[in-house]
Amino acid sequence: MSKIAILADTHSNLPALTAVLSDVRDSGAEHIVFLGDIVGYGASPAECVDLVRGCGGRSVMGNHDVEIRKVRRNGCTFHDPNWQRSTYLAGLAHSAKCLDAAQAEWLAGLPYVMKIPGAVLAHASLHEPEAFDAILDTRTAEPTLAVLRRKNIKIGFFGHTHATGIFTDDSDALEWLDETRLRIPPGLACAITIGAVGQPRHETDRRAAWLLWEPSESIVEFRKIDYDRNQAMQDIVDAGLPLESGLQLLTNEEAAALLRLRRQE
């Protein structure tokens, strides 16, 4: 059975998406699916939507994606007088303004849940997929694990948290093949958050993250690749988006060093 590349939270970051798609091609994956939040935060929403659609367009709905139609109806502005300083609101407004009608309608039609061989996908969680409740720890993973236990398909992949995580009833049953690859035994309910392409939130590692799924062997491989994060940040600044949206692409140490340099100029 073919390997499947799973990508989440692209967030309009074209340099990151381009780098990850190159890595996907090198990985031997024959199919690709997306876990939503294609837009938001970054500078290039239209280009990212086109790339996702060019890869087959198989994606679930993310919370940023679902807001686009409403934001376009409201003229790409918000009642909050400080909305342009908000990474979330400014990113939504920029995305809604950049997308054409066909791109926006495509986003609006994405499903909340999708099945692939050996697994089920949603942006955030399964128990109420339209609520986008994040899986952050064992407590917040439990409602989704309860759904998976009742299903024939016991494995779920999720985004939304921008971090990797593995939540299961028996972590000792997982078979780690090396530092990045693990096999999930049959019948074990397992919810996995895969990290983010466009806005990773790991404190010391902001490389673009994605996951390679081999359903025939139930093998998961966590993959990361670096890209020109400085270019992605400059794109954000040039688009008139908040500086904080760009700084989120850097580690805390990198961001602090950049801010010190800017103050000296």
pLDDT tens-place string over residues 193-211: 999 999 998 888 999 999 9
Produce one character per residue of 13-25: b if its CB has 16 or more CB atoms within 10 Å, e if not.
bbbbbbbbbebbe
Residue 199: in which H helix or E strand, if any? none
Q: How many residues does the chain have?
A: 265
What's the pLDDT score for residue 227? Answer: 96
Tokens of 152: 């024939």
Q: Mean pLDDT lowest for which of 42-51, 78-87, 208-217?
A: 78-87
Task: Give all strands (DSSP E) within the chain, no chain letters.
Answer: 4-7, 31-34, 113-116, 119-122, 155-158, 164-168, 175-176, 181-183, 190-194, 208-214, 219-225
pTM beyond 0.85, yes or no: yes
Scan for tokens 């398909």, then name that residue. 153
- Tokens 């994405």 locate to 110
Tokens of 4: 């499947």
Q: Which of 8, 21, 48, 27 is nearest to 200 (CA)?
A: 8
Residues 224/230, Cβ–Cβ less than 8 Å: no
DSSP notation for 37-56: --SSSSS-HHHHHHHHHHTT
Residue 155: what are its φ and ψ, rounded to 5°?
Answer: -115, 130
Average pLDDT for residues 98-108, to the nearest whole number? 96
DSSP β-ladder status, 208-214 and 4-7: antiparallel
Mean pLDDT of the chain: 94
Q: Report pLDDT for 160.
A: 97
Question: What confidence tens digit (pLDDT) does each residue in 149-196 have?
Answer: 998 999 999 999 999 999 999 999 999 999 999 999 999 999 999 999
